[in-house]
Amino acid sequence: MVRTYIATLRAAPPQAPPPPPTVRQVTGWLTRHPTAPSEEERAALKDVLARCPELDTTAGHVRDFGEILTSRLGPTLPAWIDAVDASQLPGLTNFALHLLRDLDAVTAGLTLEWNSGGTEGAVNRIKKIKRQLYGRAGFELLRKMILLQ
C-alpha cells in the first residue's frame, strides 16, 4: 500500500507555483514608462494590481505624476495632489502634501524648460577633481585641473 502511494508521488511531481514578484520588481514595473516592460512583466503587473486595489490606485497616481513630469504639465499638479489626498494612501499622500510646502517652485520646475543642470554638473565636476587631489597638491594644481577640462 505504501509502495503504490509513493509510486504515484514519484510519477507526477507537483508543479510548484512561481515565486511572487519582489517589491523591487513591482516598484520597477510601476515607475517605468508603460511601454518599457515586456509582455510577461505587464501580465505579472496586471495580476498584482488585480489582487491589491490600493496598489492599483497607487499605480494610477504614479502614472499620472509621470505624465506631469514628462509633459511639463505643472499647472495640473494641484489637481493631482487633491486626487492623491482624496485616495488616502499613506506614503503617496505624504509625498503630495510635502509638494504643497513650496508649490510655486515645484510648479515652475514642472512647467518651465530652464533648469540649473549645467551649473550643478560643473559644481559636481569640480568637487570630483578636488576629491581626487585631496591632500596631494595646493590650489594652483586644482586651478590648472579645472581650467584644462
CA distance 77 to 108: 11
pLDDT recorded at residue 92? 92
> Based on C-alpha coordinates, what's the Rg of the chain?
26
**Digitized pLDDT (tens) for each residue of the chain, 149 residues in all:** 899 888 887 776 677 788 889 999 999 999 988 888 889 999 999 999 999 999 999 999 999 999 998 899 999 999 999 999 999 998 899 999 999 999 999 999 899 888 788 888 888 888 888 877 776 767 777 777 777 76
For 73, residues 6+ apart whose C-beta sits below 8 A from its C-beta are 67, 110, 111
Burial class (CB in 10 A: 0-12, 13-18, 19+), 81: buried
Q: Is the dihedral of CA 125, 127, 129, 131 positive or negative?
A: negative
CA distance 74 to 112: 8
Query: pTM of the entire structure?
Result: 0.68
* Identity of the amino acid at 11: A
CA distance 35 to 112: 26
Instruction: Quote the longest CA-to-CA distance of the chain.
Output: 90
